[in-house]
Amino acid sequence: MPILEHPAYPPATLLCLESLVPCRESQVSMLLSIFGERQQLSFPSIFIYGHTSSGKTYVMKTLLNTLQLPHVFVNCVECFTSRLLLEEILIQLQNHSSETRRASPVPCDTFNDFVRLFKQALVSQNLQDQTVYVVLDRAEQLREMEANILPAFLRLQELTDRNVTVILLSEIVWEMFRPNTGCFEPFILYFPDYSIGHLQKILSQNHPPEYSADFYSAYINILLGVFYMVCRDLKELQHLAALNFSKYCEPVVRKEAKERDTRKLWKNIEPHLKKAMQTVYLREISSSQWERLQCEEGELGQIKGLSAHAHVELPYYSKFLLIAAYLASYNPVRTDKRFFLKHHGKIKKTNFMKKHEKTSNHLLGPKPFPLDRLLAILYSIVDNRVAPTANIFSQHLYKDLLTLISQ
């Protein structure tokens, strides 16, 4: 039974769309409800957010192209200034019905010029009677532009008096966007991360035709069992699946095992997956080099040419929180003024330390400390000014800091 239903679109088109966006049917259904029919007035602005590789860009492109809705799709990283961004939107809109791409005939210096040229482009393309969608991918870059750009895009429907919907795609939450002066609030839609079941379903769809679907699904199950805890990026997992599948098939090709001999296949692929664990996200060698190395006989060990990345890379503020916790747990409170203030005044060297403080603090072990002291040390060791935002307070490191230090 089809999940996507809408009276404005043929069932065959919706069935095709459903097959192209697996595990995102609820989000697509919500978007179809918001879009309505082509001539209906849509919501002025929609904010879609979620982590990397949660399907935001792919779903929007697939939805708009499959339903053949008039749209403009711009990456804000490529158009890094307001002028480039506005002109790119106008260029795509002017070339909506033509196959050849032309340059913008009129430069667009201000948003007032953009509104005027945007209305002219809608009339010239005969789009004034249907909804036009302006999609801004990587929309967090808008915060680096002029202060009026983001609020103006959110009210573009009102400023142009046309049926236009602006869709912002971002990896950060709306609270990080909202200007201090206030703005029009968009409709907010969240794309959650793919679960392991979703990844299994999506990756299993790409099975080679010469092998059965069950055989490839068993391979994906093994792959996710190894990599899911360290990598949940769909694109990276697709790359790893394509890279290591030939090694998984070797016993079957050599007639040493059948497709159902999962144990033999696992023993053959296990050492190669362990090697691949060292290169997740790194791309230190090309796929062809990796395949060549896989074919070479020899003892298992480090891949030649690869550096050993055994350390764990923490987020920026998490690193300094861990350092601040270490300093707070091993240094006495009375030394904070001496260590973390530039103008701490004169301190008498005589009788500064008590007898029990002459013992190394590392031998005594870490001491408990209040949260206020941790944050005070954090603010003093970070070069830039740190705003006490929810991003700092919501990090789940506090609970584990003393455990890490004690180890």
Q: What is the pLDDT of residue 275?
A: 79
pLDDT for 163-186, tens place per residue? 999 999 999 999 988 888 788 999
Q: What is the pLDDT of residue 306?
A: 38
Q: What is the pLDDT of residue 101?
A: 59
Q: What is the pLDDT of residue 292?
A: 66
Q: What is the pLDDT of residue 230?
A: 84
What three-state secondary structure class fits 332?
coil
Three-point CA angle 130, 131, 137, nearest 5°: 150
Q: Which domains does the chain carry?
A: 11-190 (3.40.50.300), 196-304 (no CATH), 316-342+362-406 (no CATH)
Q: How many other CB atoms are found less than 10 A from the CB of residue 38?
A: 16
Q: How many other CB atoms are found less than 10 A from the CB of residue 333?
A: 11
Of the candidates 141, 168, 128, the one whose C-alpha atom is nearest the C-alpha of residue 41 is: 128
Residue numbers of the chain with a pLDDT score lower than 70: 1, 98-105, 279, 281-315, 343-362, 387-407
- Would the CA dihedral through 252, 255, 258, 262 be positive or negative? negative
Confidence (pTM): 0.69
d(C-alpha 397, C-alpha 400), whole Å: 5
Burial of 226 (0-12, 13-18, 19+ CB in 10 A): middle
**Which residue is associated with the tokens 């602006």?**
166
DSSP strand pairing (132-137 vs 164-170): parallel
Rg of the chain (C-alpha set): 28
Q: How many helices (H) and strands (E) does the chain have?
A: 18, 5
pLDDT for 134-149, tens place per residue? 999 999 999 999 999 9
